[in-house]
Amino acid sequence: MYSFKEIQTVIPAKDMVDVVLSRTQRRTPTEVHPQFKITRIRSFYMRKVKFCQTTFNEKLQKILEEFPKIDDLHPFYADLCNVLYDRDHYKLALGQVKSVQSTVDSIAKDYVKLLKFADSPYKCKMLKRAALGRMCTAVKKLSASLQYLEEVRQHLSRLPQINPQTRTLIMTGYPNVGKSSFMNIVTDANVDVQPYAFTTKSIFVGHMDYKYTRWQVLDTPGILDHPLEERNTIEMTAITALAHIPATVLYFVDVSEQCGFTIEQQVSLFHSIKPLFKSKPLLVVLNKTDVKPLDELTDEQKKLIASIKLDEDKTLEFLPASCLKREGVDTVKNRACEMLLEQRVERKVAQTGKVDAIKNRVYVTATTARSDRPPHIPKGVREARNEDVEAEEANMTEKQLMERHGGAGVYSVDTRKHWELSNDEWKYDNVPEIMDGHNIADFVDPDIDAKLEALEREEEALMWGDTDDKEEHERWMNAKDTLSQIHKKVEQQKFENRLNKNRNHYGTIRRQQKQTPEEIAEHLRVIGNDNVDTEALKSRAVLKRRRSVAGLDEEGQGDEDMHVVSSSLNVEEAATAEVIKRQKQRRLARDARKGEGDHHIPEKKPKHLYSGKMGFKRDRR
């Protein structure tokens, strides 16, 4: 198989020049001084010329290696390339690439020789410049050829993967006779089907399985009945596939004539392309029988169809089919595959010659029938056979018995059959389990499961029998529903806060806002608690307010922060608190911090102040 999809993109000539010159500048030294030795200056410029020549050589050689050579391809692909791309034009484009590659090498060789004898830095620089300029000029002349090769590469990458050596079915005939519909049924392909001619403009490939082997089906474009010189590129692709791929050919005939061509024209096309079917299995498919059955054909049409044959003494097979109703499609597919398999077997036998070598050594004889009496086996022989079987079974190991009776996991090993007891009937008795000197079986009640079920039913009846318990259960379920509503409300509020959060600023910590006694009472009534003492809530709020005014928090302890309260602090203490507050703000402003949580460390060495090359005999001091 040919991997045309692996061919890399062919860049235009102008882009190739830019890429090579940029790479030469980046991958070679860029600084030279007049005070250097002349040998060092020469090697500096010679390196640039050689590197540029090597890069151009690699680019062009890659194109020559990746594109397929017409003479090395299979005849099918060689003729297909000739039809699609013009063999002469293709070879000429690759030849021009090879010629420019040789030109670039010779230019580099000549200018390297001149650089060896350059006696000044200026002459070295001009020789380098001339060498690179001549190389780029030569490559720019490939503009048209590289553009053509890029178009060929794009078309090659879109070609289907066709294996000319594998088992293949090829469908051919006039346009719009049902080839694509047949292919969509027998394979997994999805070929476009339309009610007008030349819907298929290239070869389509589908795959199917027959007798556990993979088959490929080729849907070729329709062919018209005119001379070979007048056929276009679309028709020539079908001719190429028929000429070079060994496969079973399915010639489709539209008996309903809905394709726009009469049966006489379709028969005439068959006779015009008959040489392409030589040495290939051929099957004529009478398609669209759902529109016009074969019984409704006239005698003249039947004679025309019967005249379809390769040789005068050899008849072809005609099979009716209907792709719309899927009648006869499987029959056509199976018969076509069988015909190709038979031919492949015959061809292998004829090539090897083993049949003739074996045929000379084979002697066929015929035996005469004897009497019809039944076979007689003596009694002693039968008894000896039975004894041998019994002895074999008696000496079998447990592993052999396991393999005979289903293997591991199916056969259960009998560990008691080899026990030596006074009475063999005791082998399979139930063995009592003794614990602490007592037999466990004596303490097991055989009706324990039934008694347990009865006890569970009694407990369930007692559980639901009391009305108070039912009311308690209902209250518990109502409380659970209320709790779930509270949780949903909290989650919803969190989600809304997350959406409304400004992500460009630091979040401010908010103190919890205290609710009034009326708001608390209203909330408790909403969730179902009507027994609310509003006066008690108000008195509790007054007590908390008194504690906060006295300089204590809700727990009765002093707060660490200073609260400036006008009712309890004098003017001097308020002034002192204001001074301390300003000192804190001054410290933050001096450090240029946004707040107490700002610990950002700015860049200590800005790149725009510390980048670049230092001048001659200078440093950072």
Distance separating alpha carbons of residues 35 and 37, to the nearest angstrom = 7
Q: Cα–Cα distance between 144 and 297 in angstroms, integer?
A: 57
Decide if 74 contacts 122 (C-beta within 8 A): no
Cα dihedral 531, 533, 534, 538 sign: negative
- Using the structure block, give the residue that is written with the tokens 């108070």: 468
Q: Which of 267, 242, 307, 257 is nearest to 287 (CA)?
A: 257
Nearest to residue 63, comparing CAs of 139, 116, 118?
139
The burial of 282, by beta-carbon neighbours within 10 Å (0-12 exposed, 13-18 middle, 19 or more buried), is given as: buried
Contact at 8 Å (CB) between 344 and 197? no
3-state class (DSSP) for residue 173: strand
Q: Tell me if 42 sits within 8 A of 102, measured CB to CB.
A: no
Looking at residue 57, what is its pLDDT?
Answer: 95
Q: What pLDDT, on a 0 to 100 scale, did the predictor assign at position 372?
A: 77
The Cα 463–Cα 38 span in angstroms is 111
Q: What is the rounded distance in angstroms from the CA atom of residue 183 to the CA atom of residue 200? A: 12
Place of tokens 């001619």: 197
Assessment of whether the complete model's pTM goes beyond 0.85: no
DSSP-derived pairing of the beta strands 204-210 and 213-219: antiparallel
Question: What DSSP designation does 514 have?
Answer: P
Helix (H, G, I), strand (E, B) or coil at 283: strand
Structure tokens at 439: 């037999």
pLDDT at 620: 53
Q: Which are the contacts of 478, defined by CB distance < 8 A and separation ≥ 6?
A: 528
Q: Cβ–Cβ contacts within 10 Å for residue 74, how many? A: 15
Q: What is the DSSP letter of 317?
A: E
Residues of the chain under the 70 pLDDT cut: 1, 196, 312-314, 464-469, 501-515, 528-534, 536-570, 613-621
So what's the pLDDT on residue 602?
77
Residue 600 and residue 608: Cα distance in Å, rounded? 21
At 12, the amino acid letter reads P
CB 543 within 8 A of CB 535: no
Q: Side-chain half-sphere of 18: how many Cα atoms within 13 Å?
A: 5
pLDDT at 94: 94
pLDDT in tens, 250-260: 999 988 888 88
Phi first, then psi, for residue 198 (nearest 5°) are 55, 40
Nearest to 53 by CA among 115, 95, 146, 6: 115
pLDDT tens string 198-248 = 777 788 899 999 988 999 999 988 888 878 877 888 888 888 888 888 899
Quote the crossing angle between the two packed helices 121-140 and 87-115, to the nearest 10°.
180
Tokens of 427: 């082998």
Q: Is 156 in contact with 7 (CB distance < 8 Å)?
A: yes
Q: Return the residue matching tokens 């707040």.
A: 595
- Hey, what's the torsion of the CAs at 537, 540, 541, 543, to 10 degrees? 160
